[in-house]
Amino acid sequence: MATTTTETTDTIDVVDPATGERLGAIPAGSPEAAGAAVARARRAFPAWARTPAAERAGALKAAAQRLREHLDEIAELATREGGKPLHQSRGGVEAAIGAIEQYAELGPLHRGRTLHGAPEATDVMRPEPRGVAALLVPWNDPIAIAGQNLAALLVTGNTVVFKPSEKTPLSAQRLVEVVAPELPDDVLVLLLGDARAGRPLVAHPDVDLVLHTGSVRTGMEIAEVCARQLCKAVLELGGKDPLIVDEGVDPRWAAEQAASGAFVNAGQVCVAVERIYVHEAVAEPFVSELVRCATELRVGAPTQEGVEMGPMVDDAQRALVEEHVADAVRRGARVLAGGETPDGPGSFYPPTVLVDVDDDMRIMREETFGPVAAVRVVRSFDEAIERANGTDYGLAATVLTPSQGHAARAAAELRAGTVKVNNVWGGAPGGGAEPRGRSGLGFGYGPELLDEVTAMKVVHLEPAPGS
């Protein structure tokens, strides 16, 4: 079974962002708790690494089936602590199940290479597990992100210390409780807490690999620690993803795409649309339709049917959005929809449309991570590409265009790990991308993730003399 470490006297409350209700509490974490978690995972590693890949895959398939049986329960927990509408939380659990099943199939097929040496010798390159992995998962899509990373790590023979965000720990804890019966003891160890757990975990000398999805600030701190220890790090960090709306597109369709990209999960998505560059030929009708989308979006308690957007995860995240919007307005931007924090309980913030923005405003430079569509009008596709690339981030980008030539240029010229044409949420299963700039390091998805979480060993084998 998995083990939860709770050695600490300090606690952190878990709060429903829609109501302010206290849902529970978790330990805050400590170096002692982190050390105990790593020690357990280290002891479990040799036997798990020796387990045949097909057996590891079978355990993951059984775990996926157990998750399916508890889908609604885990989704409701994720909604109550994270504020995401219930149907979106269900989608996150379904994504986790799908990823676990996918890596259960891919793991035993993960290949090395045969080398061509002397005729009497055998030379191979074989992938092996790296050892103990520290997995740090964010609050905005905790179950889906945990599922895919846990599956890739476990199917390749690593053991894992899993630290979910302190903002959404209850659904992660339940996830571990559900899959635990299918795994040997301490192959998966749950460590609860905030930075008091995360910092000593990452810095522990017995951690061989760190996977982190989250903020740039935390990711850079992790990268520095891993660099000092020569520990492998795979990081998916923030984004300031642009959306280019080219001339000739249907303004209504383009606005619906933009609204979906900017407002889903209250804008709290790594690949959310954060900057919009619209061609002047379609700017007026596009903005009009975008305002309509924002004002018609159904905002409310995320457990209610039909709600399309719930609250932000907490008041601190909402305050950051308020600061970005206020900065933009002071510098000359206009608010055409939203922009004012509502009265009443919960960390709600309305879908907001800003125009007359400039690229030196915080709303266009820093990751906002909130439901704000900031629109700048451009004169040409060339200008749109140039402004879209004017950022330190490089997670994803989208272009809406009827021009095949412009689509090809966007794919080639946009500096981002993922480029989507004519669909802000498009993409086939199994794709793997490497973020650019401050958005991260390494492949976080697809079969390529199996390469990231394993190390390659070269083996030369030849017969002994006289044998």
Q: What residue ranges do the domains of the chain occupy?
A: 3-237+435-461, 242-421
Q: What is the pLDDT of residues 43-75, one digit of tens each?
A: 999 999 999 999 999 999 999 999 999 999 999
Q: How far apart are CA 419 and CA 409, in angstroms?
A: 11
* Helix residue ranges per DSSP H, 83-193: 86-106, 142-155, 169-179
DSSP, residue by residue, 393-407: --SEEEEE-S-HHHH
Distances (CA, A) of 142 to 28, 40, 99, 187: 18, 23, 13, 20
Strand ordering across the sheet containing 454-461: 113-115, 122-129, 454-461
**SS3 state of residue 60:** helix
Q: Is the pLDDT of residue 413 over 80?
A: yes
Average confidence score pLDDT of the chain = 96
Closest CA to 278 of 365, 388, 364: 388
Q: How far apart are CA 105 and CA 60, in angstroms?
A: 10
Q: Where does 3-237+435-461 sit in CATH, by number?
A: 3.40.605.10
The pTM of the full predicted model, rounded to 2 decimals, is 0.96
- Tell me the mean pLDDT in the region 166-173: 98
Q: How far apart are CA 4 and CA 352, in angstroms?
A: 41
How many residues are present in the chain?
467
Q: How far apart are CA 319 and CA 47, in angstroms?
A: 48
Q: What is the pLDDT of residues 284-303, one digit of tens each?
A: 999 999 999 999 999 999 99
The DSSP bridge partners found for residue 11 are 27
- Cα(first)–Cα(last) distance of the chain, in Å? 46
Distances (CA, A) of 184 to 53, 181, 373: 14, 8, 47
Q: How confident is the model at residue 430 (pLDDT cuts 50, 70, 90)?
A: confident
Q: How many CB atoms lie within 10 A of CB 171?
A: 25
Residue type, 266: A
Q: What is the pLDDT of residues 75-90, one digit of tens each?
A: 999 999 999 999 999 9
Q: Is the pLDDT of residue 434 over 70?
A: yes
Residue type, 430: G
Q: How confident is the model at residue 313 (pLDDT cuts 50, 70, 90)?
A: very high
Q: How far apart are CA 74 and CA 174, in angstroms?
A: 7
Based on the number of CB atoms within 10 Å of its own CB, is 33 exposed (0-12), middle (13-18) or buried (19 or more)? buried
Q: What is the pLDDT of residues 199-228, one digit of tens each?
A: 999 999 999 999 999 999 999 999 999 999
Q: Where does 242-421 sit in CATH, by number?
A: 3.40.309.10
The DSSP bridge partners found for residue 127 are 456
226 carries an active-site annotation: no
Q: How far apart are CA 17 and CA 84, in angstroms?
A: 10
Structural Rg of the chain based on CA atoms: 23
Burial per residue of 267-303, b for 16 or more beta-carbon CB atoms within 10 angstroms, e otherwise: bbbbbbbbbbbbbebbbeebbebbbbbbeebebbbbb
274 carries an active-site annotation: no
Q: What is the pLDDT of residues 341-391, one digit of tens each?
A: 999 999 999 999 999 999 999 999 999 999 999 999 999 999 999 999 999
- Tell me the mean pLDDT in the region 88-96: 98
Q: What integer pLDDT is reported at residue 2 of this predicted model?
A: 53
Name the E strands within 165-245.
188-191, 209-213, 232-236, 242-245
Residue type, 5: T
Q: How far apart are CA 351 and CA 151, in angstroms?
A: 35
Task: Please pick, among 166, 182, 236, 274, the residue that the annotation labels catalytic.
Answer: 236
Q: How confident is the model at residue 426 (pLDDT cuts 50, 70, 90)?
A: confident
Q: What is the pLDDT of residues 231-255, one digit of tens each?
A: 999 999 999 999 999 999 999 999 9
Task: Please pick, among 226, 231, 270, 293, the residue that the annotation labels catalytic.
Answer: 270
Q: Are 195 and 184 in contact (CB under 8 A)?
A: no
Percentage of the chain lying above the pLDDT 70 cut = 98
- Tell me the mean pLDDT in the region 267-294: 98
Closest CA to 276 of 254, 293, 295, 297: 254
Q: How far apart are CA 147 and CA 152, in angstroms?
A: 9
Q: How confident is the model at residue 1 (pLDDT cuts 50, 70, 90)?
A: very low
Q: Are 456 and 112 in contact (CB under 8 A)?
A: yes
